[in-house]
Chains A and B, each alone.
Chain A
Amino acid sequence: MATNAAQELEALLDAAVDAVIVINHRSEIMTFNRSAERLFGYSEEQVRGRNVSMLMPEPYRSAHDSYVGAYLNTGRARIIGIGREIAALRADGSVFPAALSVGQIRGAEPARFVGFIQDITTRKAAIEALRFERDRAQTYLDVAEVILLALDEHGCVTMINRRGQEILGYSEAELVGSDWFETCLPDAVRADRRARFAAELALQLPPQSESRAEILTRSGERRLIAWRTTALLDPQGQAIGCLASGEDITERQTAEDALRQSEALLRSAQRLAHLGNFEIVHPNGPQKWSEQMYEVLGLPRTHSPMTVAEFAETIVHPDDREHFFREWAAARAGLKRFDFEFRIRRADGELRYIHSQGTITTHPDGELVIGTLQDITERKHAEHELRVGQERLTHVARLSTMGEMATGLAHEINQPLTAIATYAQAAVRMMDAPGGADPTDLRDALVQIVSQSLRAGEVIRRLRSFVKTRTAHSEQLEVNRLVEDIRILAVPDARVNDVRLVLQLDPASPLVAGDPVQLQQVLLNLIRNAIDATCECPTALRELTISTRPLGDGVEVAVVDHAGGIPESVAQNLFNPFYTTKETGTGLGLAISRSIITAHRGKLSYRPTPGGGTTFYFTLPQLVGV
């Protein structure tokens, strides 16, 4: 029976999963079961009778004998019946964590102890892993740049991460347990957010639903948060709160607003300026057109952008196509900026003026063309209106000058008419006389009549060409000739005002380019003013000199008077339109004269005449290439 019992025990020990070790009061190993052999790497023969401390690494090894001794002397157990975690030493010297429980075998004398040892390496690792996971989760929560917030079913904060605390300005302790809606939301949105929370709890919102709302920080600042929320469910599927992540998008919103605003601004600016921009890869690469491109070209939005060739063939006005291709080819050849104008025929048939600017650079698929198209039709029309208006004004000024000279001109035409009438009447009388007329006298009279008719006709011809409505044009001019030509109009005016007109024309004066009538207008205006200034003077000073002389790269034409000069108060306004010192003046003469000379790339000004009086002069550049 005893043998049987021992055999049963042995079988039992061998079947046990735990390592089972029995030691005596001297800590000598008496029993070492199969599991112990597997666990420690020793056979029972190798360890029997040896001190059990061989299975322990330091410092447990040294402490072991004194521990057993102390127990035997005092009966005070430290591990018996309790069990503890220890470190164990294998035969191959490796150490592993183990759970040890120890019991004293009753009735054995001297004392014997049985120890059960379990390898807890795996369990330890699992616990470590769990702890690590938990720490990592916490780290995630804390390093996340979003607010992570958990609320219970009452809306009280159960968790908030570091970022949330930072943004709100509250500590975790202050927030956890407080009513989220009361503490952290501005009055305006509180009711809405509560309703949303209720819907969340009622599972009426999809998981991860998104929303935007403002929160109120401790300092009273409002921040715009983009929330993503999801309900927290218990195992029965009941909502017990919600989890939310919130991103502070205050700055982003501001930036987005700014971007949206500037895009809107650009769009309206383009609309206002009738300006579209494009970015295309020539010849067959991607084509990008801004909205306004379609407006400018009168195409529907749905129309696809065109290549340059298509554009030229279908949109550019046929008369401007050659010009368009020339400019385009030049820009491509030089890979440079382009800047030119052309007309288009829009889909609705309307003719529009277009100004295009941009750059051409190389691109793997050809050339990258970035530029703008601007509808400048209105500007063109305005420019045209302005030009027409200016021409009209110039004409009015010319008429006005003529009006001032009317007395002299009437006189100038009246003289030959008087001579003609008188010659003719004399001829009639000669023929009626007894004995008839002397043929020589009669012939002289007729020759004079012809000559005087031509003289009157010439004055009228000059006058007509001077006052008729016309479009300005430029031609090659001899300045001296110009002065000679104006003489026939100026002399009568001088004559009736009893002013002498002296010409001093330098034969070396160069050719200039300009509009003859406009330049004569300027000259006549200066002469007219000089006559007005002079006609109150004593006879000796009633003389004007009109001179020409080469000057630098051009010529100077001057009208010299010996009158009283120009008072300071008049000089300040001299060239201002509508400023006049004359009772019937328009105040346009000098202003228009100056603009005419400026348009001829010259300069109109005045200086004192040496010895008294004023010299008005203008310069004109020499005709280039002659």
Chain B
Amino acid sequence: MTKDKPSTVFVVDDDDAVRTSLRLLLKSVGLPVETFASAQEFLDAYDADRAGSLVLDIRMPGMSGLELQQKLNDMHAIVPIVFITGHGDVPMAVEAMQHGAVDFIQKPFRDQDLIDRINQALEKDRENRNGLRERDAIRQRIGHLTPREREVLELVTKGKANKVIAGDLDVSQRTVEIHRARVMEKMGASSLAHLVRMVIEADRAQ
């Protein structure tokens, strides 16, 4: 899971012709493609570490596209989804957007529209994965703080003054200043604002 690993477009559609034509199209623009004939097939092969995006038919026998999205959300999977819908499936598409889909596109579609959406999704995936890496780093740094330093971090990022923190922790103001400097150093924060942003980032997406 390095930044350099190539992203894959995963296509899930039960219609052989649609699936095969999509594979051909995406291949023609140089995107790596893997296709699946059912949601279950994709789920069985799913690897959270693989970068990429999911092109998903919203209606399918057995597990539908919406059901697959729900399952992936339950697994905290971050793979961005572009839904393919038929006419009259707009209410379902709206539901899919509410549950975090990147976008949807109605069949039949212009190749460029689809490719643009797929690229958007791949970009989102890259961002997600970068964000994840950043968060992991912050959490690691937080993990290296002493219990007293973690208490100081919590109170500082709540915006409390050193004197107040000293009172709360029943230590001298000087001691607080020393802990605070060490926290700033261990976390690699250039300012208080930076420190607060890192804490918020670490708390996100539990």
Contact = CB atoms under 8 A, between A and B. Distances in A.
Contacts of A208: none
Interface in B14-73: 15, 17-18, 20-22, 24-25, 27-29, 59, 61-62, 64
Interface stretch (B106-114, B137-145, B148-156, B175-183): B106-114
B62 to A, nearest CB: 8
A431 B22 CA distance: 16
A418 B58 CA distance: 14
Interface residues of A, number: 30
Identify the interface centre among A407, A410, A415, A441: most chain B CB within 10 Å of its CB: A415
Contacts of A420: 21, 108
A520 interface: no
A262 interface: no
A422 B108 CA distance: 8
A417 B111 CA distance: 13
B20 A429 contact: no
B28 A419 contact: no
A573 interface: no
A420 B108 CA distance: 9
A448 B20 contact: yes
A539 to B, nearest CB: 8
Contact of A421 (B20, B29, B109): B109
Contacts of A425: 25, 110-111
B86 interface: yes
Contacts of B3: none
B88 A429 contact: no
Contacts of A496: 59
A490 to B, nearest CB: 14
B21 A423 contact: yes
Contact of B28 (A410, A417, A433): A433
B5 interface: no
Contacts of B28: 426, 429-430, 433
A534 interface: no
A421 to B, nearest CB: 4
A421 B17 CA distance: 11
B61 A422 contact: no
Interface string A452-476: 1001000000000000000000000
Nearest to A429: B28
A592 to B, nearest CB: 27
B87 A410 contact: yes
A411 B60 CA distance: 11
Given A419-B18, A495-B61, A498-B61, A441 B107 contact: no
Nearest to A539: B62
Interface in A388-413: 407, 410-411
A406 to B, nearest CB: 9
A414 interface: yes
Nearest to A407: B88
Nearest to B28: A429
A439 to B, nearest CB: 14
A452 B17 contact: yes
A200 to B, nearest CB: 104
A422 B64 contact: no
Contacts of A407: 88
Nearest to A451: B17
Given A415-B107, A498-B64, A422 B86 contact: no
B18 A441 contact: no
B88 A410 contact: yes
A445 interface: yes
A500 interface: yes
Given A425-B110, A495-B61, A419 B15 contact: yes
A429 B61 contact: no
B25 A429 contact: yes
B61 A414 contact: no
B107 A418 contact: yes
Contacts of B29: 429
A294 B111 CA distance: 81
With a 10 A CB-CB cut-off, give which of A410, A425, A496 has the most chain B CB atoms. Answer: A425
A530 B72 CA distance: 32
Contacts of B24: 422-423, 426, 441, 444-445
B21 A415 contact: no
Given A426-B25, A426-B111, 18 more contacts: A410-B86, A410-B88, A411-B59, A411-B86, A411-B87, A415-B15, A418-B21, A419-B17, A419-B21, A421-B109, A422-B111, A423-B21, A425-B110, A426-B28, A429-B29, A430-B28, A500-B61, A539-B62
Interface of A: 407, 410-411, 414-423, 425-426, 429-430, 433, 441, 444-445, 448, 451-452, 455, 495-496, 498, 500, 539
26 contacts: A410-B87, A411-B59, A411-B87, A414-B107, A417-B107, A418-B15, A418-B18, A418-B21, A418-B107, A419-B18, A419-B20, A420-B108, A422-B21, A422-B24, A422-B108, A423-B21, A423-B24, A423-B25, A426-B21, A426-B111, A429-B25, A429-B111, A445-B21, A495-B59, A495-B61, A500-B61
A-B complex: 4 closest residue pairs judged by Cβ atoms? A419-B17, A422-B21, A425-B111, A426-B25
